[in-house]
Amino acid sequence: MRTRRLGRTGLEVSEIGMGGAWLLGRRGKGPVEQAVATVRRALESGITYLDTAECYIGGRSEALFGEALEGYEGEYVLATKCGHRPAEGFDWSRGSVLGSLEESLRLLRRPGVDVFQLHTPAEPPLEAIFGAGGALEGLREARERGLCRFLGITGRNLEFLTRCAESDAFDTMIVFQRFDLLEQSARPLFQAAAAHDVGVILGSPLRLGLFGSARGEVIDRYGDEDRSQIEVLETLLAAQPGGVTASAIRFALSPTEVSVVLSGAATPEEIEGVVSAAAEPLPGAVVDEVYRLGGGKVRVL
């Protein structure tokens, strides 16, 4: 497992990270023992970056990581998020941020986390983050109290994330569904993040399963133009080792500005497949052709 520098944190982390959104499968009904075994297999495979959140799997993901890490003495970097606890009425205030983290630490069975992130797939007004008594004050207080080491932001709105990178308030950012085989609109954001030494973490390299096992479930969300592009991509990548799924992981790792690509594996076998996929880079000519097909379009999700 190769490592990359996580921006200004200075941490060297595995270029594949273990994401916690799908640990119990797409419907959240998988065996707990299998989820725990998946996290442990990830660690055994050299994965050192672990990412969970307050709302994943209906709030169960953090507890699964807590169980999997109990008694583990190896090195790892642990990240969690706030923004959806409570699911209704999170107000992005200092108090809500700190209260959410305290509950996360209880579930994780840890005195602190390495990276604490604002969880913003639906981006709040910037004032709610940067204003007096807002979320950033809560993040900074958590860091001062030793409850976290670094601060992160997540999202998929490129303008929002660019402004967050330029604020120099955040050490890391998760970019969700803005860089994958179908869409590469985040490339200018990567440059802005690099200019401010913000570590970039990519979420959903398989585009919510479109390039994996959930293709049949999600393909209907796309129009004719996108479907044609998807079919061309599948033909292009069929001959690559591991086909389109492994190629999606390799493509996500191709930008030098990216520190970590998160895997949403739900079984030990799936995490082994992701680790295997990352072993070799995607050929440069194939990467260039994917860019040509993508065309920089931002897709409405």
Residue 122 has a pLDDT of 63
pLDDT digits over 210-228, tens only?
999 889 999 999 999 999 9
CB neighbours (10 Å) of residue 222?
A: 16
Q: Which domain holds residue 270?
A: 3-294
- The CATH number of the domain holding residue 197 is 3.20.20.100
The string of DSSP codes covering 223-273 is: -HHHHHHHHHHHHHHTTSTTHHHHHHHHHHT-STTEEEEEE---SHHHHHH
Euclidean distance between CA atoms 301 and 284, whole angstroms: 29
Residue 301 lies in a domain: no
Euclidean distance between CA atoms 56 and 5, whole angstroms: 26
Residue 193 has a pLDDT of 98
Residue 277 has a pLDDT of 95
Give the chain's domain count.
1
Q: Residue 148's closest CA among 120, 174, 131, 170?
A: 170
Residue 121 has a pLDDT of 61
Q: How far is CA 47 from the centre of its chain?
A: 14
Residue 300 lies in a domain: no
For residue 226, give the amino acid letter.
D
Q: Which residue numbers in the chain have pLDDT < 70?
A: 121-122, 296, 300-301
